[in-house]
Every structure is written in structure tokens, then in C-alpha cells.
Amino acid sequence: MPRDHLSSAGRSADSAEAPFLELLAKGASADAYEQPVLLARAEGLPARRVAALEQAKLLALRVRTEIEGRRRREAELSALFETAHDLGGLRDLDAVLRAIVQRARSLLGTDIAYLSLNDVARGDTYMRVTEGSVAARFQQLRLGMGEGLGGLVAQTARPYVTDDYFKDERFQHTRTIDAGVQDEGLVAILGVPLMIGPQVIGVLFAADRRERVFEREQIALLGSFAALAAAAIDTANALTETRSALDRLGRANEIIRDRSAAIERASDVHDRLAELVLRGGGVHDVAAAVSEVLDGAVEFTDPGGTPAVAVEAARAGGHAVRHGDDWVAAVAAGGELLGALVLRGHPGLDPVDQRTLERAAMVTSLLLLARRSASEAEQRVRGELLDDLLDARDRDPGLLRERASRLHADLDGPHVVLAARLDVVATDAGQEAGARGRLWSAASHLAATRHGLAAARDGGTVLLLPLGPGDTATTLARRTAKELGTAVQETVTVGASAPVDRLTAHPEAVAAAYTEGQRCLEALRLLGRTGDGAAAEDFGFLGLLLAGDRDISGFVGRTIGAVVAYDERRGTDLLRTLDAYFASGMSPARTKDALHVHVNTVAQRLERVGRLLGDDWQSPARALEIQLALRLHRLSSGGPR
């Protein structure tokens, strides 16, 4: 072909492509590309020119299609990138899922897009996110597994598309699903699976309210969004599990810190309790130490000082128990209840702290047992020393003084020997032995607190107590009878000797004083003054007569009983008149001065006495008996001598 002809053809081709390049630059619609061809034909241009324009049009349309495809893929990739970016900064799963559904709807150009998730616990699936939906029932739809197009997708783990939902028989139609789809007016539906590994967790849908054929690229695009949605859900689940694990770890750390603190407190109280035991602390020291460690008020109570129900529950279970807002730990040794440790106003107690309270109760029981053992040992030593003094077996003053000094007793000072005995009728030998044991224990405690000695002897107890300033043997005897009676909750009678001193040099004086105290004790019992205390000085010369078993009350009744009865019945003063009469040397004149009455009154009273006692009542023999009976009556009633 000639060169000028080729140049002409090229120019012709170039001129044919020019209008289409302009259309491509403008981004015109496909219909606009027909205009240059139609215009050339209308102008009657040569057929070669029209053919060139037709060829240029086809080429321009192919380029246009390629450009639109690239733009669409660019938009899709951009949307996927933005979604992936959202996923990377995941904070709110619902927001990410809404963005996925919105972008899928926009890029596919559908009327609606939605996402459903499987509920494993309930065995169904439910709408999680919708975009473009207008029907409330559709938005709240819950479907059984395997139902509808979504069920088919879930069963096969493959995408499914229908051009006309209600005419498609490939999947199971149900009244609930069909009603929801009909409310929404959907016709064409595309569903792709949401998968985590091999497991289908839900379905992503795109749908139109008219018939539509979804292209392969659109199905692939929706599948990409479904993959991102599944990744978002998986990431959110992982984050949730991570947060839960972190929360559990945080709680575990808190528990560990609390346990560590509790263990440190337990170690602290263990060290304190050990120190208390080593330095001889008492139960109240233990309570104070535990109070400080547990940051509460802990106190030791006697067996009756805490509700029996709580104490018995703690004792039976071997653990501290809660009682209201308090915690109670029994202090027991073997089968004996010694008391309780009570933590006041502390209802919330850590198990380690509970164990600390229980350990403190155990230490308290050991201290009480140790103190009891020491007390019993000391009581035996005190009893042995007093036994040696009573039996005069050890006459070495230096050794006696040394033994007494170890017991904080001073035998060189004035002392009183007291004989104490219970006045209780025992039903059996065991009860009597128990009562005597309680008396000896109480007497030993009294002797220890008064720096004296005590021993069990002759069915009762003998005490050697120092005579304090301002005390007499009588006041000491009466106070001892009262204290011992209160301690054992029984009637205790005490007879006292006259004061004795320098016992290390004259140990035999203790035995003599004990005999005197026994005599006074017997006198009190014969006079019916049980539960009282008295010394020899209280009886005068009658103390020499009050030995053995004599019927004192019978003698008094036989001698002056008629006068006693008359006074009690009539409210007269015949006994007082008789006392004054004999004290005045049997002189009516002096008697009336002593009584501050008229002499005729004295005469009338004495006449009444004569009628009651007989005419010979003033004879020497009868007068002595009457005076003795009057004295015994006064002593038995506790009146003055």
C-alpha cells in the first residue's frame, strides 16, 4: 500500500477515535457512544468512515467497561480495606458488623443487607444486624436450624442465591420465615456463610425487592465481607475471653494478695502467741494480741458467759462458728469446756483469720491447763508444808522458812489456824467427795491469794492465814466462812484459833491451834450456827465445856424454854429481865436501874418467871443452870455475850 494511503488511513482512524476518547474522558453513559456513528450515517459519510467509527465505538466501550470494572474493584478493595481497618481497631463489635452490612449493601446496590448469628444455647439463629429493613417482624426474626435459605447455607457451608425466594424449592420454607420475608417484600436473596475454621456461625445476606441475578463477582465480594465479619466476631470473642481471663487473673491476684495478707497476719499472731506463752502471758494477753491482728474486739469468756448454742456448736465441730455479728471459738481441753474466745462485731471473717481465732483458742486452753497444773502443784506444795507443820515433822526453822518463802508466805508473822467444814447432806460418797474437793480447791485458792497455806484434813480443810492489820481471829473466821461458802455455793462453817506467831521456831503451836480451831468449829455446829465463823474468844469459859456431842438446844429448851416461848408469844422481855437480874447480883433495885423500869415492873416480871420455871428457880443449882442456858441461848442466836 502506498505510504500516503497508510497515512490517510491512520488519520482516518485517529479522527474516528477522537469523539469516543472525549466520551471516555467525560465518563459518559454507554448510550452516548452511539451518537458519533448515528451522526456520521446521518451526514452521509463514506461507508469506510462509518465502519471506522463503529470499530472505534466497540473499542471505546471495551475500554469503558474495563475502566468501570477497575473502578468497581477499587471501590470494593477500598471498602474491604476500610472494614479490615475497622476490624483492626475493634472496640465495638456491633459497630463493626453494622459497617460491614452497610458497605455490602452499598457496593452490591441491594435494597437490604442483613446478618444472622447462630445461638448454640437455644439451638436456633437470630437477626443480629440489618440495613435497609423496614419490617419490625423481619428484624426480630429467629429461625430454627436448617430452615430457609440461611439454613441451607449453614448446612452446606456454601453461598446460595435465589432470583425469586417464594418460587425456589431448594430450601425449607416455614410460615415464620415466609411471613417475615413477605413483610419485608424481598424477592432476590444472596446468602454467604460466616465461618470460623470449619464451623458456620451465621450467614451474611444481600437482598432486593425485585427479581435479580447476582453476578459471580458480587457473590465473591459478599463472601469477602462475610469473612471479615467472621473475623470480627472471632476477634471480639477472643477479646472477650481475654478480658474475662484478665478479670479472673485480676480477681485471682486480689485473692492471692488477700491470702498473702491473711497468711502474714496468721504468721504475726503465731509469733505473738508463741512469745506470750514463753513469757508466761495470760488468756487476756492472748485476746489482746488477737484483737490487734484481726482488727476487732476479742475477749475471753467463762463457760457461762457466751450463748450455749454457739459454744456447743464450736466445741462439737472443732471450728469457730458465727453467732449473729460475732464469731465464737470454744476453749476446751478433752471433754471439759474452759470458756470461749469471742470476736465481737466482725461478721465477715476470712477463712485464714477464722483459723487464727481457732489457734488462739487452742493456745488459751493450753495456758489455762498450764496455769491449772501450776496451781495444783502449788496447792500440793502448800498442803505438804502445812501437813508438816501440823505433824511437826520438820523442826528446822531455816528449812521451814525457805519452803515458806518459795510460796511467798512469812511464817514468822502472826497467823490464825482455821478449821473449815461443809455442812451439806450428800446423797452418795461420790457427791460428798466432790463437795470436799471443791472446798479444798477454794481454800487453796484463798490461801494462795492471802499468802497462806491450806490442806485437806479430817474430812474438811485447814487453813493457815496471816492476820492482817485491824483483823481479829473472829473477823477472819467469819470472812473466810463467807468467801468459801460463796465459792463452793454451799454452807461452810469455820472455827478459828487464837493468833499464833513465830511458827518456824515453834511449829508445834500449829497443831495446838488447829485443835482449838476444831473445838470452835464443833461449838458452832452444836449451837446451830452453821455457815458462821467464830474464834475461841467468842465463847469465853464455855469453850472449855463444848466438846463432844451434847444436846445444847435440848438443854436450853428444858431449862428456859417456857420463858423463851412466852416472850415469843407475848412480845415480853422476860429473858432480858433474867439476864439483867443475874448480872445485877439478883438485886431487883439494881435490875430496875439496868432496865430503866420501875422496881414494881421488875417484881411483876420475876413473879411471871417463877410461875413459868417453878418456885425453886432462884436456888443456887437452878440459878446456875438458868444462867448457863441463857448464855447458850445468846450464843446460838448470835447475840452479844
Give 450-477 pLDDT, tens digit per residue. Answer: 888 888 888 789 998 998 888 898 999 9
pLDDT on residue 2 = 41
Strand partners, 131: 113
Q: What pLDDT is stored for residue 632 in this prediction?
A: 82
Q: What is the pLDDT of residue 8?
A: 39
**Mean pLDDT lowest among 21-35, 38-52, 368-382, 425-439:** 368-382
In the chain, % of residues over pLDDT 70: 82
Q: Tell me, what's the pLDDT at 4?
A: 42
Note whether 527 and 552 are within 8 A (CB).
Answer: yes
Q: What pLDDT, on a 0 to 100 scale, did the predictor assign at position 392?
A: 66
Report whether pLDDT(202) > 50: yes
Task: Tell me the pLDDT band of 211, cut-offs 50, 70 and 90.
Answer: very high
Q: Which of 20-29, 258-267, 401-410 has the lowest mean pLDDT?
A: 258-267
Instruction: Name the least confident of 126-135, 292-301, 534-543.
Output: 534-543
How big is the CA angle at 136 (ends 143 and 168), to the nearest 5 degrees? 50
**What pLDDT, on a 0 to 100 scale, did the predictor assign at position 315?**
79
The closest of 599, 443, 417 to 514, measured between CA atoms, is 417
Domain boundaries in the chain? 17-70, 91-242, 280-374, 392-540, 552-637
For the chain, give the mean pLDDT.
80
Q: Give Dmax over CA atoms of the chain in angstroms.
A: 200
Instruction: Assess whether the region 91-242 and the region 280-374 belong to the same CATH fold.
Output: yes
Flag whether pLDDT at 208 surpasses 90: yes
Cell 469473612 sits on residue: 227
CATH architecture of 91-242: 2-Layer Sandwich (3.30)
Q: Check pLDDT > 50 for residue 447.
A: yes
In this predicted model, which residue has the larger pLDDT, 641 or 407?
Answer: 407
Instruction: Give the pLDDT mean for 543-547.
Output: 50
Domain boundaries 392-540, corresponding CATH code: 3.30.70.270
Q: Tell me the CB-side half-sphere exposure of residue 578, using CA atoms within 13 A.
A: 28
pLDDT by residue (tens digit) across 479-520?
Answer: 999 998 888 888 899 999 889 888 777 777 888 888 888 888
Please write the tens of the pLDDT for every residue from 561-620: 899 999 999 999 999 999 999 999 899 999 999 999 999 999 999 999 999 999 999 998
May I ask the CATH class of domain 280-374? alpha beta
Mean pLDDT for the stretch of residues 128-144: 90
Query: Which pLDDT belongs to residue 523?
Result: 83
Task: Provide the percentage of residues in the chain whose pLDDT is more than 90.
Answer: 18
- Strands 492-496 and 533-535 turn out to be parallel
Decide if 270 contacts 289 (C-beta within 8 A).
Answer: no
- The pLDDT confidence band at residue 371, using thresholds 50, 70 and 90, is low
Element (H, E) at 114: strand 112-119
pLDDT tier at 243, thresholds 50, 70, 90: confident
By the 8 A CB rule, do 438 and 379 touch?
no
pLDDT-based confidence at residue 123 (cuts at 50, 70, 90): confident
Q: Which of 190-199, 215-224, 248-257, 407-416 has the highest mean pLDDT?
A: 190-199
Evaluate if residue 383 carries a pLDDT over 80: no
Considering the entire predicted model, what is its pTM? Answer: 0.41
C-alpha cell at 580: 439483867
d(CA 112, CA 105): 6
The dihedral of CA 129, 133, 134, 136: what is its sign?
negative
In 246-325, which ranges are E strands? 297-301, 321-323
Q: Is 427 helix (H, G, I), strand (E, B) or coil?
A: coil
pLDDT given for residue 575 in this prediction: 92
DSSP state at residue 497: P
378 vs 17 pLDDT, higher one: 17
pLDDT higher at 447 or 30: 447
Across 28-37, 192-201, 274-283, 319-328, least confident range:
274-283
- 188 pLDDT more than 90: yes
Per-residue pLDDT, 545: 57
- Is the CB of residue 532 less than 8 Å from the CB of residue 637? no
Phi and psi torsions of 322, nearest 5°: -85, 135
pLDDT of the residue at 378: 53
pLDDT score of 263 more than 50: yes
pLDDT: which is higher, 611 or 155: 611
Upper half-sphere CA count for residue 449 (Cβ side, 13 Å): 7
In this prediction, residue 91 carries a pLDDT of 63
Among 174-178, 389-393, 513-517, 522-526, the minimum mean pLDDT is found in: 389-393
Which pLDDT belongs to residue 160? 93
Map residue 494 onto helix, strand or coil. Answer: strand
Is residue 230 pLDDT above 70, yes or no? yes
**Angle ∠(415,419,420) on CA atoms, nearest 5:** 125
pLDDT for the residue numbered 186: 94
Q: Which of 358-362, 589-593, 621-625 has the lowest mean pLDDT?
A: 358-362
Looking at residue 382, its pLDDT comes to 59
